[in-house]
Structure 1
Amino acid sequence: MNLYFRLFWLLLWQVRRCKRIGFLDTSKIKYRTMPSDCDINFHLTNSRYAAFMDLARTYMMAEMGVLKRLIKLKWMPIVNASEFTYIRDIKPFEIFTIESKIVGWDEKYFYIEQRFITERGLHCIVHVRGVFIAKRQQIPITKVIKTVGFTGKTPTLPPEVIKWISFLNLKKAVNMA
């Protein structure tokens, strides 16, 4: 339930007061770990990372100035795959920042990197692969890029993302045979 309150707070308050960033810039949003976010080990539970990341990506789109436009078009962001690397735990009541940025795209997917950081350092790095859909159809990446007004050069995907894409392709090939 507390994530609904955080979502309402994000949409009603934070989005209206966010700074503007470029399409490839890093978005930063802070949260505090509440006891209800923790598991029996008294740290942020794994499922909450993904939930907080959803909020952070929504905030990132607002900072880019594209959230309202995408909502008007009824384009929905969909996560296709994600991979998490946990480094250290986040304790109850600890303040953490989620840094989110688009690291690139290919002919089908966007790739986003999200990092969880506290005063103690880096806690988790996550890569997310996603698309936008409308009326059950995927929106072509070229159309999304044009709609958000990005005219710069397509960034080169980081080596770890390229390896991850290869792994995802292998996984699909093995399991779809």
Structure 2
Amino acid sequence: MHLLLRTLLMLFRSARRQPLAVWDSSSLPLRVLPTDIDIALHVNNGMYLSLMDLGRFDLMVRSGVWKRMRRRGWGPVVSAETIAFRKSLQLWQQYTIETRIIGLDAKAIYFEQRMVSDGEIYARAYIATRLVTKAGPVSQEEILQEFGEPPLDLVLPEWIHEWRAASALPGSRTPAPHAWGSSA
């Protein structure tokens, strides 16, 4: 909710920026705001992932895919993400969120995103997303029909498959009981 107004403003502005193909990289210029920082006066670790949502929306809007997704009743959801930090973004610092799709498999669309300032990577994340409707997940065939075929050189790195397998939880229709054990 804390990024709702910022997201709406970004959606409006992205629609007026230079169009991209969905397989292109997008670059979204931003500045660190007081609502982005924590008590240490730098961007809060959890805020990086929230801000990266804006980068994915920018790519979807500028490529025209967002409008087609909404028309079909598709909504994006994150199913897994991992992030590494190198440097801290400070209050009022200018930076860009660099976003690109790095591949797809039968269950997800994978993004690489970077927070970049002065030509240096401050943080990098990999995000697995799904498109869903009220009826369930959208198939890869339907996604490619809307997105178009990916470039031939777009090959999902093998480690992504390993990461997804190692970090996966059971599906939402499969029980996933919580039990740490009895030791306290």
TM over 0.5: yes
Number of corresponding residues: 173
SS at match of 1:165: helix
Q: Write the distance in 2 (CA, Å) between the matches of 1:49 and 1:107.
A: 27
2:27 is equivalent to residue 28 of structure 1:
yes
Q: Write the distance in 1 (CA, Å) between the matches of 2:129 and 2:3.
A: 22
Q: Residue deviations 1:135-172, cap 9 Å, x none?
A: 14000112111122336437211244244224225x76
Partners of 2:22 and 2:59 within 8 A in 1? no
- Which consecutive residues of structure 2, in runs of 5 or more, have no partner in the other structure? 178-184
Q: Write the distance in 1 (CA, Å) between the matches of 2:79 and 2:50.
A: 15
SS at match of 1:43: coil
Structure 1 segments of 4+ aligned residues over 6 angstroms from their partners: none
Closer/same/farther in 2, CA of residues 160 and 42 from structure 1, 3 Å limit? farther
Aligned residue identity for 1:3: L
SS at match of 2:42: coil
2:147 is equivalent to residue 164 of structure 1:
no
Q: Which residue of 1 aligns with 2:111?
A: 112
Partners of 1:105 and 1:154 within 8 A in 2? no
Q: Which residue of 2 aligns with 1:144?
A: 143
Equivalences for residues 1-177 of structure 1 within 5 A: 3-12=3-12, 14-119=13-118, 121-150=120-149, 152-153=151-152, 155-169=154-168
Identity %: 25
Aligned residue identity for 2:75: M
Aligned CA-pair RMSD: 2.2
The alignment's TM-score, normalised by the length of structure 2, stands at: 0.85
Q: Give the deviation of 1:32 after TM superposition.
A: 0.5
Q: Give the deviation of 1:132 after TM superposition.
A: 0.4
Q: Residue deviations 1:24-67, cap 9 Å, x none?
A: 21011011001221101110001211211111111110121111
Q: Write the distance in 2 (CA, Å) between the matches of 1:148 and 1:34.
A: 33
Larger radius of gyration: 2
Higher helix share: 1
